[in-house]
């Protein structure tokens, strides 16, 4: 019995001695790291999506504290946390604008003409090096889903051969805009209510041959609201963030349906005619 | 010292009785840190380092403190023939843990480059059963201090070898299409088992 | 007999395959000359490098062989009208790579009148090499084996590079194609003359013409035309695809290896296609520019397959009519050969300077595949003529690890198509590598 008590005592003394030794060493040879880095890493969303351009949230936090990078690079963080991060850095944040991605195409399988059977890799960028996917329009959505696969948040849906972004899920990180080989995805203000969903610069008749939902640049919309719609050659673009009401769209009555409200564009595919 | 004893210690520790693949110790970091060859190299280096120091320290501790039979008296309190050898596992754990902690702190202070390469793995190996296992095997076998240290370092090299091999396999596996049921840890475990089978081929290499 | 007795190419290049030939259906007969068309659609850029600058506008009258676009820079060649008539619209037509390309329409007046030829150099041996070189450029000659690299640039290697051998590519290793074969049989003299002109421009005398063994008539014709010429040998080559690849050809004929990322001039060689040589001969001796070329129209759906001397700008639609039309359902239309050619989605593509063949494949000759996982069987590695680790490359490209692809030398891929051809899992390897190269080029440009 004494052996056990003695052993226990010996170990307790050993533990104490070693503990003090470690404590002393830690204090004496401590290396200073900025506590803000960890605090900011906690505030960031932790998705590690890379949208900021850094290798994960911890790396971005480090860059913010050590290199003075602005916290505005993170599109995913909540407004509240964004303010807190700005405070922690001693910066004045200002209001951030929420952006979402939009695929500027209406050419799904029901509207776009197919000129060839594509039998190859199921990837838009791979199809692009091989004369592109089989649809006639060389500006339009190839429809093999590279953007959908690149989206970490699952915001892009492949609907009948056309990519559609769900703005309520989209965080505006911009990954999809880099992936699309045709560069037809753009980041716009989340406030925009309607778009001309077409990217083709082809002339009217050629465009019409390739897709029944393409913008013909007939300029009906431009005439109806010249401050909102701007015709550039054979394609019309709506001004970002402009107020486009459903009544305005109905009164314009776009002949191909390329001009659509965001809500309609999301909803279609459920038996609606006109653009996809 | 007859030369084949050194051969038994070195080749035995690295290949024949590989601490991971034959003795099945240290599986936790083996599976955890083997996704990339780069991290495997770092971890392997850290393990060799720690096992060397730990083997040395524990061998000294065992030889000079724990195996000695204690006889002393404090006043009327007498101790006779106290052999503290039975506490060796507890003592080893505590000492190794403290040692690794101190080494980590010193490393971070004095060699940031080395700390960057190995430092993050040191907490992982603090109470790794491979380190403790090597120390325990040394104590059991009754080897001298020098042999124990060499055995510790070679065990670490065996660990590093197994880890780097496994990491190379896993990097290739990552590029292949694994059936859903096997993705992730399951294919890793199956591969580890096959690797262990392969290492059984070394048995009989040294006595 | 030549003074150098060379055995049949002593060097066997690594890898390669021997696919079914398919040449029999277009091997017999002679080169046919089709009738004149109403319209020709000349693609403006028919060379690698800078496109030529258009000199004419709609409504201008032109004569056959007249200059209609001048060279746009040092790596560029001029373009000439294929027939006499009027210039029509400048428009976009489908290009061989799938994207639309700018082209100019030439409306024929039916007279087919030549313009004034450039000065004929019948006695070319006494013309300075600078003049000969200028003539090669002025005639708009590019590599007609498929690369379309401006020939005058190829014949002007930098002075630090010592050239000692002219290698002539008469291999025509692609299945189905027989254009070069017929050219060598019927215009052997032009080919030999062209070789002599190139040798003079390069200031060398050692010429090696490589022709695959399955073209015995061509070898005989060339040897007859080369009688008495010193240091020019016609060497029969083993029949193996891609024997006509320039690195493989150089190795087979000379035993020299062009290193990864290198060029033939690094080992003292310049490679030219037989078609290019015939065009050079015509340009120098007769003063005529490049306005037509021999094209094989073949495939089981073609009624009368064979070889034709098509003018540049002939639409494929018309070319097929000249070949007797289509007699059964076509699944694929390929410009070029089945290994390296490009599948087309429109019959409105036109013949360019580097169009060697128009190949039609029927439904039972084309397989729709679904790519499976790599079996690591190693067939592709065995067959790759560039000794690449194709299976590894295929897997890393599938996982989009282009950094690893670069480490495995994907940039040296010839895109010869062998790996896709032999893969039992049906993997589209060439597409993977094309994409990898495009991604790597983009990444390098960004940095």
pLDDT in tens, C24-60: 899 888 999 999 999 999 999 999 999 999 999 999 9
Question: Which are the contacts of C65, defined by CB distance < 8 A and separation ≥ 6?
Answer: C80, C81, C114, C115, C117, C288, C289, C291
* pLDDT-wise least confident of A183-192, C216-225, C299-308: A183-192
pLDDT value for A193: 86
Q: A63 and A121: one domain?
A: no
How many CB atoms neighbour CB C387 within 10 A? 13
pLDDT value for C8: 54
Domain annotation covers residue A52: yes
**Cα nearest neighbour of B176 on chain C:** C395
pLDDT value for C1: 35
The minimal CB distance from B94 to the residues A15, A25, A31 is found for: A15
Task: State the burial class of residue A113 (Cβ atoms within 10 Å of its Cβ: 0-12, 13-18, 19+).
Answer: middle
Q: A60 and A140: one domain?
A: no
Inter-residue contact A118 to A135 (CB < 8 Å) = no
Q: Do A7 and B94 touch (CB under 8 A)?
A: no
Tokens of B75: 């006043």
Inter-residue contact C279 to C273 (CB < 8 Å) = no
A62: domain CATH number? 1.10.15.40
Q: B101 to chain A: which residues are within 8 Å by CB? A: 22, 25-26
Task: Answer with the residue of higher pLDDT: A66 or A49.
Answer: A66
Last residue of a domain, one of A48, A70, A89: A89
Rounded Cα distance between A25 and B108, Å, is 12
Q: Do A29 and B90 touch (CB under 8 A)?
A: no
Q: A170 and A40: one domain?
A: no
Tokens of C282: 């015509």
Q: C401 to chain B: which residues are within 8 Å by CB? A: 175
Rounded Cα distance between A165 and A180, Å, is 13
Res A115 pLDDT > 70: yes
pLDDT value for A276: 45
Domain annotation covers residue A78: yes
pLDDT value for B189: 93
Last residue of a domain, one of A68, A89, A110: A89
Q: Looking at the domain that runs over C1-33+127-366, which CATH code has it been given?
A: 3.40.50.11540
Residue carrying the six token digits 């314009």: A252
Q: A7 to chain B: which residues are within 8 Å by CB? A: 84, 86-87
Residue C90 near chain A (CB below 8 Å): no
Which of C370, C390, C395, C401 would best serve as a mutation to test chain B binding (most B beta carbons within 10 A)?
C395
What is the domain count for chain A?
A: 2
Q: How confident is the model at residue A53 (pLDDT cuts 50, 70, 90)?
A: low
Inter-residue contact A208 to A214 (CB < 8 Å) = yes
A258: domain CATH number? 3.30.70.20
pLDDT value for C279: 96
Domain annotation covers residue A9: no
Task: Answer with the residue of higher pLDDT: C97 or C301.
Answer: C301
How many CB atoms neighbour CB A76 within 10 A? 19
The minimal CB distance from B87 to the residues A11, A15, A30 is found for: A11
Give the DSSP H/E element, type plus range, for residue C249: helix C246-254
Rounded Cα distance between C358 and C379, Å, is 29
Q: B174 to chain C: which residues are within 8 Å by CB? A: 399
Q: A29 to chain B: which residues are within 8 Å by CB? A: 105-106, 108-110
- The SS3 call for residue C192 is helix
Q: Do A6 and B95 touch (CB under 8 A)?
A: no
Interface ipTM: 0.80
Q: Which chains touch A (3 or more CB pairs under 8 A)?
A: B, C
Res A142 pLDDT > 90: yes
What's the gap between Cα C417 and its chain centre? 16
Q: What percent of chain C has a predicted confidence (pLDDT) above 90?
A: 79
pLDDT tens digits along C406-422: 999 999 999 999 999 99
Last residue of a domain, one of A89, A109, A127: A89
Rounded Cα distance between C335 and C349, Å, is 9
Task: Kindly give the interhelix angle for B88-110 and B37-61, rounded to the nearest 10 degrees.
Answer: 130
* Low-confidence stretches of chain B (pLDDT beneath 50): 1
Domain annotation covers residue A25: no
Q: A40 and A129: one domain?
A: no
Domain annotation covers residue A29: no
Give the global pTM: 0.83
Domain annotation covers residue A104: yes
Q: A108 and A67: one domain?
A: no
**Cα nearest neighbour of B101 on chain A:** A22
DSSP string over C318-387: HHHHHTT-B-S-EEEEEES-TTT-EE-S-TT-B--TT--EEEEEEGGG-------------HHHHH-TT-
Rounded Cα distance between C218 and C182, Å, is 7
The minimal CB distance from A130 to the residues C100, C371, C431 is found for: C431
Strand partners, C35: none
Tell me the C-alpha to C-alpha distance, in Å, between residue C10 and each of A172, A211, C103, C250, C254: 62, 57, 46, 12, 9
Strand partners, C207: C166, C232
Residue carrying the six token digits 């599986």: B27
pLDDT value for C370: 87
Rounded Cα distance between B46 and B74, Å, is 44
Domain annotation covers residue A229: yes
pLDDT value for C5: 42
Q: A120 and A190: one domain?
A: yes
pLDDT tens digits along C260-312: 888 999 999 999 999 999 999 999 999 999 999 999 999 999 999 999 999 99
Q: What percent of chain A has a predicted confidence (pLDDT) above 70?
A: 92
**Ranges of each domain in chain C:** 1-33+127-366, 379-446
Tell me the C-alpha to C-alpha distance, in Å, between residue C311 and each of C76, C105, C176, C352: 20, 13, 21, 8
Q: A110 and A247: one domain?
A: yes
Q: A58 and A193: one domain?
A: no
Domain annotation covers residue A17: no
Of C191, C177, C149, nearest to C45 (Cα)? C149
Q: A171 and A255: one domain?
A: yes
**For range C213-219, the mean pLDDT:** 92
Alpha helices (H) along B24-144: 27-32, 37-61, 88-110, 112-118, 122-125, 129-141
Q: A82 and A131: one domain?
A: no
Strand partners, A198: none
- H/E/C letters for each residue in chain A? CHHHHHHHHHHHHHHHHHHHHHHHHHHHCCCCCCHHHHHHHHHCCCCCCCCCCCCCHHHHHHHHHHHCCCHHHCCCCCHHHHHHHHHHHCCCCCCCCCEEEEECCCCCCCCECECCCCCCCCCHHHHHCCCCCCECCCCCCCCCCHHHHHCCCCCEEEECCEEEECCCCCCCCCHHHHHCCCCCEEEEECCCCEEECCCCCCCHHHHHHHECCCCCCCCHHHHHCCCCEEEECCEEEECCCCCCCHHHHHHHCCCCCCEEEHHHHHHCCCCCCCCC
C-alpha distance across the termini of chain A, in Å: 86
Q: A128 to chain C: which residues are within 8 Å by CB? A: 438
Question: Domain of A184?
Answer: 99-267
pLDDT value for C14: 82
């Amino acid at each position: 019995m004494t052996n056990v008590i003695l052993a226990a005592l010996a170990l307790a003394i050993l533990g104490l001695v070693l503990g003090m030794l470690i404590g002393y060493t830690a204090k004496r040879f401590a290396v200073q790291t900025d506590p803000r880095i960890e605090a900011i890493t906690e505030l960031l969303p932790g998705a590690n999506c890379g949208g900021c351009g850094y290798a994960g949230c911890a790396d971005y936090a480090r860059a913010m504290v050590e290199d003075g990078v602005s916290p505005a690079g993170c599109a995913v963080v909540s407004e509240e946390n964004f303010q807190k991060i700005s405070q922690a850095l001693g910066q004045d944040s200002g209001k951030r604008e929420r952006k979402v991605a939009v695929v500027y195409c209406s050419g799904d399988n029901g509207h776009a003409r197919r000129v060839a059977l594509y039998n190859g890799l199921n990837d838009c960028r791979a199809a692009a090096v091989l004369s592109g996917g089989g649809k006639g329009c060389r500006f339009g959505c190839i429809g093999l889903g590279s953007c959908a696969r690149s989206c970490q948040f699952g915001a892009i849906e492949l609907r009948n051969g056309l990519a559609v972004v769900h703005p309520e899920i989209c965080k505006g990180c911009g990954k999809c805009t880099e992936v699309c080989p045709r560069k037809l995805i753009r980041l716009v203000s989340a406030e925009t209510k309607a778009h001309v969903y077409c990217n083709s610069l082809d002339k009217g008749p050629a465009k019409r041959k390739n897709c029944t939902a393409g913008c013909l640049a007939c300029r009906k919309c431009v005439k109806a609201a010249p401050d909102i719609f701007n015709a550039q050659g054979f394609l019309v673009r709506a001004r970002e963030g402009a107020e486009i009401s459903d009544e305005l769209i109905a009164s314009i009555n776009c002949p191909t349906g390329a001009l659509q409200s965001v809500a309609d564009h999301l909803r279609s595919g459920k038996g609606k005619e006109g653009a996809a | 010292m007859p030369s084949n004893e050194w051969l038994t210690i070195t080749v035995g520790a690295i290949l024949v009785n590989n601490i991971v693949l034959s003795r099945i110790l240290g599986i936790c970091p083996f599976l955890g840190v083997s996704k990339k060859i780069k991290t495997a190299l770092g971890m392997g280096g850290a393990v060799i380092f720690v096992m060397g120091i730990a083997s040395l320290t524990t061998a000294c501790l065992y030889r000079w403190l724990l195996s000695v039979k204690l006889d002393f008296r404090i006043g009327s309190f007498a101790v006779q023939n106290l052999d503290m050898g039975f506490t060796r596992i507890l003592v080893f754990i505590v000492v190794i843990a403290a040692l690794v902690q101190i080494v980590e702190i010193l490393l971070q202070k004095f060699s940031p480059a080395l700390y960057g390469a190995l430092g993050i793995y040191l907490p992982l190996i603090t109470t790794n059963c491979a380190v403790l296992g090597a120390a325990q095997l040394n104590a059991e076998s009754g080897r001298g201090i020098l042999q124990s240290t060499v055995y510790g370092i070679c065990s670490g090299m065996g660990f590093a070898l197994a880890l780097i091999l496994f990491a190379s396999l896993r990097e290739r596996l990552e590029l292949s299409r694994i059936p859903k049921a096997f993705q992730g840890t399951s294919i890793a475990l199956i591969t580890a088992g096959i690797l262990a089978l392969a290492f059984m081929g070394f048995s009989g290499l040294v006595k | 007999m030549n003074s150098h007795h060379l055995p049949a190419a002593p060097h066997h290049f690594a890898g390669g395959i021997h696919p079914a030939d398919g040449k029999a259906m277009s091997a017999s007969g002679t080169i046919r000359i089709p009738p004149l068309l109403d319209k020709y659609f000349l693609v403006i850029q028919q060379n690698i490098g800078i496109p030529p600058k258009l000199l004419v506008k709609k409504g201008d009258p032109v004569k056959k062989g007249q200059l209609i676009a001048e060279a746009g820079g040092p790596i560029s060649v001029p373009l000439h009208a294929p027939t006499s008539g009027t210039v029509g619209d400048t428009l976009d037509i489908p290009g061989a790579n799938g994207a639309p390309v700018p082209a100019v329409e030439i409306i024929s007046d039916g007279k087919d009148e030549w313009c004034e030829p450039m000065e004929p150099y019948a006695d070319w041996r006494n013309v300075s090499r600078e003049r000969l070189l200028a003539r090669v450029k002025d005639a708009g000659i590019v590599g007609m084996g498929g690369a379309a690299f401006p020939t005058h640039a190829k014949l002007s290697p930098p002075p630090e590079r010592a050239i000692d051998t002219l290698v002539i590519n008469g291999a025509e290793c692609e299945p189905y194609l027989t254009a070069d074969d017929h050219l060598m049989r019927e215009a052997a003299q032009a080919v030999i003359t062209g070789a002599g002109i190139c040798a003079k421009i390069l200031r060398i005398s050692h010429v090696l013409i490589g022709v695959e063994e399955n073209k015995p008539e061509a070898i005989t014709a060339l040897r007859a035309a080369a009688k008495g010429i010193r240091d020019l040998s016609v060497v029969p080559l083993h029949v193996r695809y891609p024997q006509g690849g320039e690195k493989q050809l150089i190795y087979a004929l000379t035993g020299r290896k062009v290193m990864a990322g290198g060029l033939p001039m690094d080992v003292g060689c310049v490679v030219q296609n037989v078609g290019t040589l015939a065009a050079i001969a015509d340009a120098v001796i007769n003063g005529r520019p490049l306005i037509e070329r021999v094209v094989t129209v073949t495939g089981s759906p073609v009624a009368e397959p064979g070889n034709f001397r098509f003018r540049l700008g002939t639409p494929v639609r018309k070319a097929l009519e000249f070949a007797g039309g289509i007699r059964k359902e076509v699944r694929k239309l390929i410009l070029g050969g089945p290994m390296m050619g490009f599948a087309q989605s429109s019959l409105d593509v036109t013949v360019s300077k580097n169009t060697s063949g128009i190949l039609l494949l029927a439904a039972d000759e084309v397989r729709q595949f679904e790519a499976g996982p790599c079996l690591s069987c190693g067939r592709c590695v065995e067959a790759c003529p560039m000794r690449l680790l194709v299976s590894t490359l295929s897997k890393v490209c599938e996982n989009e690890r282009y950094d690893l692809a670069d480490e495995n030398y994907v940039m040296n891929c010839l895109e010869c198509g062998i790996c896709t051809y032999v893969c039992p899992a049906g993997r589209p390897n060439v597409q993977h590598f094309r994409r990898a190269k495009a991604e790597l080029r983009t990444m390098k440009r960004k940095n």
